[in-house]
Chain A
Amino acid sequence: DAGVIQSPRHEVTEMGQEVTLRCKPISGHDYLFWYRQTMMRGLELLIYFNNNVPIDDSGMPEDRFSAKMPNASFSTLKIQPSEPRDSAVYFCASSQSTGGRSPLHFGNGTRLTVT
């Protein structure tokens, strides 16, 4: 299995621009999670999906952030417009549908820099 695949690995953009991060989960995994990692705040859960449906988006910082999962093999996290404080590493993770018992499988992340 190829694991969770994220693209791009690095993204540098200017403030105000739209940014789209992409994720392909492990085949057969019913849950998909988006996390953000910063030095100040550690790992924060932004949103997660079950069977392509958003279940909990309480971690999404504000309306500038949106996430979609149009099918079981693809998800996007979009920031529009981007701001310097959005600079972070964004991780996608997937898991099987076993509730809190299920370990997460992480992608290698997208390092976003907003100048």
Chain B
Amino acid sequence: AQSVTQPDIHITVSEGASLELRCNYSYGATPYLFWYVQSPGQGLQLLLKYFSGDTLVQGIKGFEAEFKRSQSSFNLRKPSVHWSDAAEYFCAVGTGTASKLTFGTGTRLQVTL
């Protein structure tokens, strides 16, 4: 079965600084990978997804993520964080044989002004 690890529970960055959120997955074949963001009191919103092809994917709100097969990673990045990016971020993995996603435990991002 697939699994997802987000090693950082909480991260604090200054507004304008760069951001990288880590995600490692475990799956025997090529996975489908997703990043979601959850603002307080809201549901999860899709930021970006990777299925195949170019390993660097662009998403909404200026986020990008890079799939590295050799490291089983799919880290989320943003060059310059805005205060409105403060939220919880979830990495998720899907497989070709099932429609359900497996989510990581999330990383809470705090942005200081």
Contact = CB atoms under 8 A, between A and B. Distances in A.
Interface of A: 4, 31, 33, 42-43, 45, 48, 50, 55-56, 91, 93, 95, 97, 99-109
Contact of A100 (B36, B96, B103, B106): B96
Contacts of B51: 101
A100 B49 contact: no
Contacts of B99: 31, 48, 50, 55, 95, 97, 99-100, 102
Contact of A42 (B41, B97, B105): B105
Nearest to A43: B103
Nearest to A6: B43
A109 B42 CA distance: 7
Nearest to B43: A106
A48 B100 contact: yes
Contacts, number: 62
Given A48-B100, A100-B96, A101-B32, 13 more contacts: A43-B90, A43-B106, A45-B100, A50-B99, A56-B98, A93-B44, A97-B99, A100-B31, A100-B94, A103-B34, A104-B101, A106-B45, A109-B43
A42 B105 CA distance: 5
Nearest to A58: B100
A33 B43 CA distance: 13
Contacts of A99: 94, 96-99
